[in-house]
């Protein structure tokens, strides 16, 4: 199952919405997928910290960080917390840090890039609202899949035959 997304696109062409190419794969899992949980927050990862502390089995955290290249919305400690709570993956429309440690963590992580600066913690952001980037809307309760080929969204759970 190395190239999951091409297979899903071939098998379910009418059910997938493909995100414009922009993400790099940083996590210990190269392909991952699950039910979407969203956060919209700009340069404040307080809600990310709260969510990764929750049980996440079968879920992917999709963080709309406003494409900020100035602050990291995820670091090694939060990635490890997410992995220990069973999250399948995290997609950050923004930056991460601690890339070497995240690459050793058993979780999928995709982001636009890396920067060593952490965010401020002001408790600002919105949880579980539809967020749109890369030409696709990520709606809580729908499904997202990611691998080295990109990211796609589907209204229903997809299983390869």
127 is in an annotated binding site: no
94 is in an annotated binding site: no
Sequence spans of domains, the chain = 22-147
70 is in an annotated binding site: no
Nearest to residue 91, comparing CAs of 120, 126, 131? 131
17 is in an annotated binding site: no
69 is in an annotated binding site: no
Distance CA 88, CA 76 (A): 15
Entry pTM: 0.97
75 is in an annotated binding site: yes
Q: What is the pLDDT along the chain (161 residues), one digit of tens a residue?
A: 578 999 999 999 999 999 999 999 999 999 999 999 999 999 999 999 999 999 999 999 999 999 999 999 999 999 999 999 999 999 999 999 999 999 999 999 999 999 999 999 999 999 999 999 999 999 999 999 999 999 999 999 999 87
């Amino acid at each position: 199952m190395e190239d999951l997304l091409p297979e899903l696109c071939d098998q379910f062409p009418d059910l997938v919405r493909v995100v414009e190419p922009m993400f790099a794969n940083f996590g210990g899992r190269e392909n991952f997928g699950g039910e979407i949980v969203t956060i919209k927050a700009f340069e404040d990862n307080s809600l990310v910290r709260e969510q990764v502390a929750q049980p996440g089995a079968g879920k992917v955290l999709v963080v709309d960080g406003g494409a900020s290249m100035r602050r990291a919305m995820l670091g090694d400690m939060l990635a490890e917390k997410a992995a220990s709570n069973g999250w399948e993956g995290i997609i950050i429309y923004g930056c991460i840090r601690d890339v070497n440690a995240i690459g050793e963590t058993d979780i999928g992580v995709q982001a636009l890039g890396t920067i060593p600066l952490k965010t401020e913690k002001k408790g600002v952001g919105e949880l579980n609202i539809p967020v749109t980037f890369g030409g696709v809307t990520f709606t809580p309760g729908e499904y997202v899949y990611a691998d080295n080929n990109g990211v796609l969204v589907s209204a229903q759970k997809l299983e390869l035959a």
